[in-house]
């Protein structure tokens, strides 16, 4: 299946012509919006990319392992669509991932380290796609906002950075990762870039995000969202190897997103 072709034909020529449909153009618009409203700089996006590459270089399953050494190295890469640079965006690669699901009784027989799917939610938002992530009130909103609000409420999560230990996010670009910090309520509005600036989301940080290297390092389209859940499960099991985070992971979240503006969010736990 041609995934790019599928994404670019999700809107009608009449209503979607002005969208410049396609992954890079849409995320470039979102990155520009984020930059303008939050005060984030290209250097902050480069910090996210540097973090991702460090994780990827520790992950035997990651595809892009560039060995990046500095923010300046990233800022020297050419633009795809401003403000997104070549090194700011994910590849399109091949790969596969599988998850084994079992009942509670069977899971305990299969392994002594089961990981439990505590909750999962899917949110579609096609009606607002023409507004580029705005709702009818003009408020910037992503499917992640809605998914996070509902999932957190159902599971008694009132402070995500306290109640969750790490996250594997579907971030096709480094700009998207900073944006998601806010839309998943890991920080206040316009402060996502401050998390990376302070090292909070590093593998050794207070709240690690994408220690695997994330989508920006490995994007086997179709398998990519499954990888997010698998990587979160490995962290809970303590089986992530060289990219295992330093804190004890008992609870994690994984997200996935799609071109027509939809989100899947999964909450994983070590114990029921």
Better pLDDT: 263 or 212: 212
Beta carbons within 8 Å of 92's beta carbon, 6+ residues apart: 3, 4, 219, 221
Percent of the chain surpassing pLDDT 90: 77
Over the stretch 207-260, which tens digit does the pLDDT of each residue have?
A: 999 999 999 999 998 899 999 999 999 999 999 999 999 999 999 999 998 766
Name residues whose C-beta falls within 8 Å of residue 198's C-beta, 6 or more positions apart in sequence: none
3 state DSSP class of 267: strand
CA distances from 221 to 89, 90, 92, 262 (A): 14, 11, 7, 16
Domains in the chain with CATH codes:
3-269 (3.40.47.10)
**pTM of the predicted protein model:** 0.90
Question: pLDDT tens digits, residue range 106-149?
Answer: 999 999 999 999 999 999 865 544 444 444 444 556 788 999 99
Strand ranges inside 73-131, DSSP E: 79-81, 84-85, 116-124
Say if residue 60's pLDDT is above 50: yes
What's the rounded Cα separation, in Å, for the pair 257 and 217?
Answer: 16
Compute the chain's Rg from CA coordinates.
18
Helix (H) or strand (E) holding 264: strand 262-269
What does the pLDDT read at residue 57? 99
Return d(Cα 44, Cα 71) in angstroms, integer. 9
């Amino acid at each position: 299946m041609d995934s790019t072709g599928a994404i670019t034909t999700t809107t009608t020529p009449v209503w979607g012509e002005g969208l410049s449909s396609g992954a890079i153009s849409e995320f470039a618009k979102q990155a520009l919006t984020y930059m303008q409203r939050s005060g984030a700089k290209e250097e902050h996006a480069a910090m996210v990319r540097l973090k991702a590459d460090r994780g990827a270089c520790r992950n035997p399953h990651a595809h892009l392992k560039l060995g990046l050494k500095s923010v300046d190295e990233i800022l020297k890469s050419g633009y795809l669509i401003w403000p997104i640079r070549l090194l700011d965006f994910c590849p399109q690669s091949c790969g596969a991932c599988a998850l084994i699901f079992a009942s509670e009784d069977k899971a305990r027989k299969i392994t002594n380290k089961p990981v439990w799917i505590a909750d999962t939610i899917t949110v579609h938002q096609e009606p607002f796609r023409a507004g580029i992530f705005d709702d009818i009130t003009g408020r910037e909103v992503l499917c992640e906002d809605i998914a996070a609000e509902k999932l957190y409420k159902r599971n008694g999560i009132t402070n995500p950075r306290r109640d969750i230990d790490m996250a594997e996010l579907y971030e096709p670009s480094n700009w998207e990762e900073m944006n998601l910090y806010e839309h998943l309520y890991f920080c206040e509005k316009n402060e996502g870039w401050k998390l990376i600036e302070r090292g909070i989301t590093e593998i050794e940080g207070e709240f690690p995000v994408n220690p695997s290297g994330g989508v920006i390092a490995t994007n086997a389209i179709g398998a990519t969202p499954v990888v997010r859940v698998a990587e979160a499960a490995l962290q809970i099991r303590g089986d992530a190897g060289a990219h295992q985070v330093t804190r004890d992971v008992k609870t994690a979240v994984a997200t996935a997103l799609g071109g027509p503006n939809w989100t899947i969010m999964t909450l994983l736990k070590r114990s029921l």
